[in-house]
Structure 1
């Protein structure tokens, strides 16, 4: 088994965001075969939940989302679809999209609408790395 990664250059509107990514085999039915998430609040702090820090609003941030080892063969003619979201509520905890010390203690006023910009330019490329098995 090999690991694939999704790297996203994002421009969060607020001071906190989450990043969830899913990879699907898009052919007729969209079959999801891998998904993962990371809180933006810990991306800048070395992924340590003990010292979360706010993101800088409207500044590009890089998210490297490990999609873990998984075997999948894309058949000829199939396409890959990558989905990126800021939350998977109600499957996983809600994300206020605003930096608070503890997201589980967030109040109603802490929840704001998120605007995400995904970069795909030469200077700020977003990409997915998939192993090729011959």
Structure 2
């Protein structure tokens, strides 16, 4: 009986690992700023567990990598080691608020109309010239 349970658990773990690999490969998309596709890969994060695994305690955030938080109204940078740029977008992908050089271990204010939050490397929004009311989305 215990061998059956062991094999059943092993098969579940193998299937779980394979499905996670499939999801992580397809979860990276390109950043689109005002209908221009940029060379920045964006990974979508939907829960706090994924945030902890992919963002927290990273030494340096690369310029060509960014993160998108879905269904968030605010952002905290606990566990970060460097400054980041935080961009808030509403449900229509329009930029509503921008935090440049956001310091580690800080909270943003609560934004009720926010649907998604983009986290980019330090000074990326100045380089890309992102302003309020611009459109910021992701595309494959």
Q: TM-score, normalised by structure 2?
A: 0.29
Q: TM-score, normalised by structure 1?
A: 0.30
More helix by share: 2
Query: If you compute each CA radius of gyration, which structure gives the higher value, 1 or 2?
Result: 2
Where relative contact order (Cα < 8 A, 6+ residues apart) is larger, the structure is 1
